[in-house]
Copies of this chain bind each other. A is one copy, B any other.
Amino acid sequence: MSAIAKDLSVGAMAARAGVAVSTLHYYEAEGLISSWRNSANHRRYDRRELRRVAIIRAAQSVGVPLSEIRIVLDAVPPNSVVTAADWARAAEPWAARLDAQIETLQRLRKQMTSCIGCGCLSLETCPLYNPRDTLAANGPGARRWNGAPEERSTLES
């Protein structure tokens, strides 16, 4: 155990990455991480997979769904030696997302107390809510915007 393990069991991976074993099974089934089997049919993970898990969790924490995480991870083939440039290129779409998200959060934060109580009933000008911004498109409702009904076209009142 004190010897540096070249590869990891699923339990060790789970412990080190701070996720459940079942989560690793799931990620593997989803093609986000990969492993090989030892003679006992137990999963063995390259230590590199730890980083992949870290990236998955980090990306999730900022609202990236697994489907998009997969796209980025797929750009970095497993078992390859990855350069910083490789990762930078793969993660490029996330950089933009993060920028947008930071900006929106700051806007929100700054105007939360003022706007939230501002009494404005005009959503058009309310900084708290502009449904067409990047966050709205990628955010939580990042479910499917099944096309907002009517696109607030008429009903100007």
| Interface residues, chain A, with chain B CB atoms under 8 Å away | 1-5, 11-12, 14-21, 47-48, 50-51, 54-55, 57-58, 60-63, 82-88, 90-91, 94-95, 98-99, 101-102, 104-106, 108-109, 112-114, 116-121, 123, 126, 128-129, 131, 135-136, 139-141, 146, 148-157
Contacts and interface: CB of A to CB of B under 8 A. Distances in A.
A155 B117 contact: no
A49 to B, nearest CB: 10
A116 B88 contact: yes
Given A150-B15, A152-B16, A98 B118 contact: no
Q: Is the interface of A mostly helix, strand, loop or mixed?
A: helix
B61 A141 contact: yes
B112 A94 contact: yes
A15 B109 contact: no
A91 B113 contact: yes
Contact of A84 (B4, B90, B119): B119
A118 B91 CA distance: 13
Nearest to A17: B123
